[in-house]
Every structure is written in structure tokens, then in C-alpha cells.
């Protein structure tokens, strides 16, 4: 699932209904208007399926807002007992992947994020949307650093940036609210990308062909309420060839002088000895057939992301153009390839020497 933003729940404001009673009494002057109902401010219960972590400086707990369609898989806010509508208040942040190496090129480091999330009832009715937009130029634009990472100083590469204070009015009848990401737009010097809830290439190819381009074929997704079956199906038989072409597109080569060629050659030997059981083939993954997955315990990383999926497991990450895709692991806890190698050296008890680890990193940078 694509991370849309980071969210921090602050409080809810409750407006209890005014209660009045009448007794028999002598006529009197018209009564003064009743005082406005008192309000209560409370911290609600929040179930965060994918915590980002605790801020090093603020000591606040941040929670990832992931894109999705099922309210049960979102951030669940349970409201205190109340009468009348409830105002739910929270801070919404974007997420930035910070890299000291990238900061050497100010133009490449720049990013502008626009994240859109939805507040939903548990029966999937939209209550409201919230948007946070922010720009990153320097480390001063980070709201905080998040502890628990594999990198230097024990912080994660991903960090909250920007802040929008959000207030949403929740109808009286609702006792729970789900927060789900809808869209994330990222603008960088080299172009723009828009992300939504992820799906496999074949899923999106079929979705676009049948529902967006008017192709005659079959596409069904109960979660979206879409079921198109146009016969004869002229789309499905073409999807394997389309996916094969997409997979055949060459990966961009690593930048010149970005790795040590001699060390990479030695690192390939280390890779072949210790990594090829999972990172196989041209793409470097044993998930080429789409059905090979690994339990979180095998990877030594947080299983929260896997728990959100149908199979409750992780695929082996492909290695094509690996140098382009920091941070690493689903939670972004490894800022560099050196952090990844150190992690698996420990988790898999590989007993690699420091020189072997450095050589392996150089090989991975050369992919």
C-alpha cells in the first residue's frame, strides 16, 4: 500500500445536548436564554495499523496513513460517548525521505508533496476530506526525526514534513471514523508522480483498458463496486504480452562513478553465495510468478504492513535500479543499502566481514 501521509490525532470536542425540565410555578418574567451547552475536549482511542514511530524531539507518536478502500484497514478513531456532532482535530503531515547524500544537490533534494486523505464511516461513507501540502528544501523543513531506524543515530530515513491542522465534524450517529489515503502527488525537479492505492501491473492494465479506455473485456473489483463483463473478451488475452513488454523495459543504468567497480565484482561473489536463494533472475526476486511470498519473521522487519495484505506476507523486492529507490524496507527504516546489508547480516547470521559488507553494497549499487 502506498503511504499517503502521516497523521497525529490531537483531540475531539464534544457538544453535549442541553437538558431542561419544567415544574409548575407562578407566572414570571420571561426566562433568560439558557447558557450555551458546555463542551468537553477529550483524547480519543486510536488504532494505528502502521505506526511511523515516535518523534525524537517532540516525543509524539506519528501514524502512517496508507491508501486503501476498506475502512476496516484504515486508522480507526473510536469517539468517546457523546450527544450531538463531534469535532475531530488532528495534525496532518507529509512524509519525506531524507538523505544526506541527496542534500549535496539542492535541486535534486527539492520535493513538493500534496496528500489527500478521506475520513470515512465504517460503512464506507465519506464524511470529509483533508489535504496537506508542503515543500522540502533543507533539513530545517523536517518537523522531526523518527526513532527506530537502522541508520546513523538510530533514526529512520522517512520523517514528517509540513503540517496542516485539520478539524472534521463527525455526525452524531457515528461512533468510529476511519482515515484512509486517497492520493499522493509528488513534484520534483525531474518530474511529477501521482500515487493511489497500489495494485499489480495486470490489475491496473485491465482496469485502464476496460473501465477507462472503453476496451471490450472483463474487469471486476468488488471493493470498488465494479463488475464489467463484455463478451467477447478482447482484453484479457492481451494482458500477458503487455505485462511482458512492461517488464522488458530496461532499467536506467547507475550514474557514472557512483560505485566502485572492483568492489562490486567482489560483492557479486558474496551476493551469489548468500542472497540468490530469494533474489533470483534478471529482476532479482523469487516473486516473478506472483505467488512466492515470505512471512515477516523471515525478514526481520515489522510485520504491520504485511498484516494489511490478503496474504499477510512480503514479496522479495526486485533489484532493478535499486540505487533509485531509497529508503528500503516497507517502513522506510533502512536509509541506505549499507543499512540493508547490516540488517540481513544480523538477522540471517551471515557472518559477513566489514569488507564483504562494503563489497556487497557496491554490487547492489551497480544493479
- 240-295: per-residue pLDDT in tens? 888 778 767 777 889 888 999 999 999 999 998 899 878 876 667 766 555 577 88
In degrees, rounded to 5, the angle at the alpha carbon of residue 132 between the alpha carbons of residues 76 and 14 is: 45
Annotate 335-356 with b (16+ C-beta within 10 A) or e (fewer): bbbbbbbbbbbeeeebebeeeb
Q: Which domain holds residue 134?
A: 3-13+37-195
Tally of domains within the chain: 3
Same domain for 174 and 109: yes
Q: For residues 299-312, give the mean pLDDT.
A: 77
pLDDT for 342 equals 95
Same domain for 122 and 237: no
> Domain holding 293: CATH number?
1.10.760.10
Same domain for 151 and 42: yes
Q: What is the pTM of this model?
A: 0.54
Query: Whose grid coordinates read 452524531?
Result: 172
Question: Could you give phi then psi for residue 313, rounded to 5 degrees?
Answer: -150, 170
Same domain for 302 and 287: yes
Same domain for 209 and 136: no
In terms of pLDDT, which residue wins out, 67 or 216?
216
Instruction: Examine residue 24 and state whether it is found in any structural domain, yes or no.
Output: no
Same domain for 208 and 113: no
pLDDT for 360 equals 96
Question: Could you give phi then psi for residue 188, rounded to 5 degrees?
Answer: -130, 175
Same domain for 55 and 78: yes
The 10s digit of each residue's pLDDT in 224-252 is 678 899 999 999 889 888 877 876 777 78
Whether the predicted pLDDT of 104 surpasses 90: no
Same domain for 338 and 237: no
Same domain for 155 and 7: yes
In terms of pLDDT, which residue wins out, 357 or 3?
357
**1 contacts 197 by C-beta, under 8 angstroms:** yes
Instruction: Examine residue 26 and state whether it is found in any structural domain, yes or no.
Output: no
Instruction: Examine residue 27 and state whether it is found in any structural domain, yes or no.
Output: no
Q: Give residue 222's pLDDT band: very low, low, confident or very high (50, 70, 90).
A: low
- Whether the CA torsion 52, 139, 335, 102 is positive or negative: it is positive
Q: For residues 50-63, give the mean pLDDT.
A: 88
Whether the predicted pLDDT of 8 surpasses 60: no
DSSP per-residue letters across 267-323: HHHHHHHHTTTTS-TTTT-TTTTS---B-HHHHTS-SHHHHTSSS--BPPPP-TTGG
Of 38, 40, 39, 65, the closest CA to residue 52 belongs to: 65
In terms of pLDDT, which residue wins out, 311 or 104?
104
pLDDT for 23 equals 30
Amino acid at each position: 500500500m502506498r503511504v499517503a501521509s502521516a497523521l497525529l490525532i490531537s483531540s475531539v470536542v464534544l457538544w453535549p445536548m442541553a437538558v431542561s425540565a419544567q415544574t409548575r410555578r407562578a407566572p414570571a418574567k420571561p426566562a433568560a436564554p439558557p447558557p450555551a451547552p458546555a463542551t468537553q475536549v477529550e483524547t480519543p482511542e486510536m488504532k494505528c495499523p502502521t505506526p511511523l514511530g515516535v518523534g525524537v524531539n517532540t516525543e509524539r507518536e506519528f501514524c502512517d496513513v496508507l491508501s486503501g478502500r476498506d475502512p476496516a484497514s484504515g486508522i480507526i478513531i473510536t469517539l468517546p460517548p457523546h450527544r450531538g456532532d463531534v469535532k475531530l482535530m488532528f495534525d496532518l503531515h507529509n512524509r519525506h525521505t531524507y538523505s544526506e547524500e541527496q542534500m549535496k544537490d539542492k535541486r535534486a533534494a527539492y520535493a513538493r508533496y500534496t496528500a489527500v486523505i478521506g475520513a470515512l464511516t465504517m460503512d464506507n461513507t465519506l464524511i470529509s476530506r483533508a489535504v496537506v501540502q508542503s515543500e522540502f528544501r533543507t533539513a530545517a523543513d523536517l518537523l522531526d526525526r523518527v526513532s527506530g531506524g537502522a541508520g546513523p543515530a538510530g533514526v529512520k530515513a522517512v520523517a514528517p514534513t509540513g503540517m496542516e491542522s485539520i478539524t472534521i465534524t463527525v455526525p452524531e450517529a457515528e461512533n468510529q471514523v476511519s482515515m484512509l489515503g486517497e492520493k499522493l502527488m509528488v513534484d520534483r525537479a525531474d518530474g511529477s508522480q501521482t500515487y493511489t492505492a497500489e495494485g499489480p501491473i495486470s490489475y491496473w492494465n485491465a482496469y485502464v483498458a476496460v473501465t477507462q479506455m472503453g476496451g471490450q473485456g472483463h474487469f471486476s473489483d468488488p471493493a470498488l463496486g465494479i463488475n464489467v463483463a463484455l463478451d467477447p473478451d478482447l482484453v484479457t488475452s492481451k494482458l500477458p504480452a503487455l505485462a511482458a513488454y512492461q517488464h522488458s523495459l530496461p532499467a536506467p543504468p547507475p550514474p557514472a562513478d557512483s560505485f566502485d567497480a572492483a568492489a562490486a565484482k567482489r560483492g557479486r561473489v558474496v551476493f551469489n553465495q548468500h542472497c540468490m536463494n530469494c533474489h533470483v533472475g534478471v529482476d532479482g526476486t523469487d516473486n516473478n510468478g506472483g505467488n512466492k511470498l515470505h512471512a515477516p519473521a523471515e525478514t526481520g522487519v515489522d510485520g504491520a504492513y504485511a498484516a494489511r495484505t490478503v496474504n499477510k506476507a512480503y514479496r522479495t523486492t526486485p533489484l532493478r535500479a535499486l540505487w533509485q529507490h531509497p529508503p528500503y524496507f516497507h517502513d522506510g527504516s533502512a536509509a541506505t543499502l549499507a543499512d540493508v546489508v547490516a540488517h540481513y547480516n544480523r538477522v540471517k547470521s551471515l557472518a559477513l566481514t566489514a569488507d564483504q559488507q562494503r563489497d556487497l553494497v557496491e554490487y547492489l549499487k551497480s544493479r
